[in-house]
Amino acid sequence: MRVALFQPDIPQNAGAILRLCACLGVGLDIIGPAGFVLTDAKLRRAGLDYAAHAVLTAHDGWAAFTAALAPDGRLVLLTTSGDTDYRAAAYRADDILVLGRESAGVPDFVHEAAQLRLTIPLAAGMRSLNVATAAAMVLGEALRQTGGFPGDTPAHRP
């Protein structure tokens, strides 16, 4: 299981997701160009001292990211225009959860590349959740289903 951020805009959100991934033992891919320098103080402040424990891979762009993917890795896009409720999805341990830019989401070619497009149901009139909140919700469900939380034993796996 991995999380991938497509051209993130806000270092504080990327830092919160970096911390999430470090704490849960999940790799993080940042697909550039980002709207900030990866050494940005805001990213470090949001990630606190967890950055040293994160498995972070930076990619120059989409082509570099897709070239580095394992052949069996499945791209799972979190999007407000998804066609599958994240709670109804059947996750796999080799999934890569892709999240778009806070300001613009992802372009059509990323939508087309995703094998699964997930949405989180929201109250009427609400547009979207914070990207770090959405990442935590979906990653939590994916790890629960796959028995991928740190310390999971066969007894804890579905």
> Look-up: residue for tokens 């066969």?
154
pLDDT reported for residue 158: 61
Measured distance CA(50)–CA(35) in Å, rounded: 21
Handedness of CA 84, 87, 88, 94 (dihedral sign): positive
> Is 80 exceeded by the pLDDT of residue 112?
yes
Mean pLDDT (whole number) for 136-144: 98
Mean pLDDT (whole number) for 49-78: 92
* Averaged pLDDT score across all residues of the chain: 91
Of the pLDDT bands very low, low, confident and very high (cuts 50, 70, 90), residue 49 is: confident
> Is 70 exceeded by the pLDDT of residue 48?
no
Residues for the chain: how many in total? 158
Domain hosting residue 85, numbered range: 2-156
Measured distance between the N- and C-terminal CA atoms of the chain, rounded to whole angstroms: 16
User: 9-43, pLDDT tens digit by residue?
Assistant: 998 899 899 999 999 999 999 999 998 877 656 66
| Phi, psi for 40 (deg, rounded to 5) | -50, 140
Measured distance CA(7)–CA(42) in Å, rounded: 16
> Is 90 exceeded by the pLDDT of residue 44?
no
> Residue 146 is part of a domain; what is its CATH number?
3.40.1280.10
> Is 80 exceeded by the pLDDT of residue 156?
no
DSSP 34-88: PSS-TT-HHHHHHHGGGGGG--EEEESSHHHHHHHS-TT-EEEEE-TT-SEETTT
Q: Going by DSSP bridges, is the β-strand pair 95-99/2-6 parallel, antiparallel, or unpaired?
A: parallel
Q: What is the pTM of this model?
A: 0.92
CB 127 within 8 A of CB 80: yes
pLDDT reported for residue 92: 97
Q: How many CB atoms lie within 10 A of CB 78?
A: 27
**How many domains does the structure of the chain reveal?**
1
